[in-house]
Copies of this chain bind each other. A is one copy, B any other.
Amino acid sequence: MAVADIDHLIGLIARLPGLGPRSARRVALALLRDPQRRMLPLARAMESAAMSVKTCSVCGNLDVTDPCRICVDPDRPHDIVCVVETVSDLWALERAGAHRGVYQVLGGVLSALKGIGPEDLNVGSLFERLRDGSIREVILALGSTVEGATTMYWLQEKIAPYDVVVSRVAQGVPMGGALDVLDDGTLAAAVSARRLI
């Protein structure tokens, strides 16, 4: 029988993304079966992370320091800024080692449907850096959705007055991807962006 304490725990776990009541019970049971070696270490890691996590005031990344380690890394070219929607996108690019410069995390993309306007995007520090003249290139790495494209178009317009190169990540066939399962838009983009070999 699940009691108040345990029910409360399951309720909190069930609210995590990708988990529902059933998987939350499974997770809770796994933790409850081994409280000392599984539940307490996780509880403490969460507590310590919750206490130490900060949003970088320069780029919007999450880290235990502000500015974040990427923004203070002397080995990275600070004049190439990659604009992403979420911290998750930033982490993905870092894991892939796909970008050597610094970032700007918007925290969202323009969406009339969700009521997200330019004032909701974390772009203040990007334009500060643009005004400083400390940026040479801005890489727009937003998703190929209507909202992503709208946001890239809007940013491009806003960045145009500054003397910087603006680029956007290439669209095409994903690595290891079969052509016949791709949507028409991706195929058209991949063909029109074809390169001589």
Q: Which residues of A contact B (CB under 8 A)?
A: 1-3, 5-6, 8-9, 12-13, 15-19, 23, 25-33, 35-36, 38-53, 61-64, 68-70, 86-88, 90-91, 94
Contacts and interface: CB of A to CB of B under 8 A. Distances in A.
Contacts of A3: 63-64, 69
A48 B38 CA distance: 13
Contacts of A2: 91, 94
Given A1-B90, A30-B17, A46 B50 contact: no
A99 to B, nearest CB: 11
A39 B32 contact: no
Contacts of A30: 16-17
A48 to B, nearest CB: 6
CB-CB nearest 4 A-B residue pairs? A35-B50, A43-B46, A39-B50, A43-B47
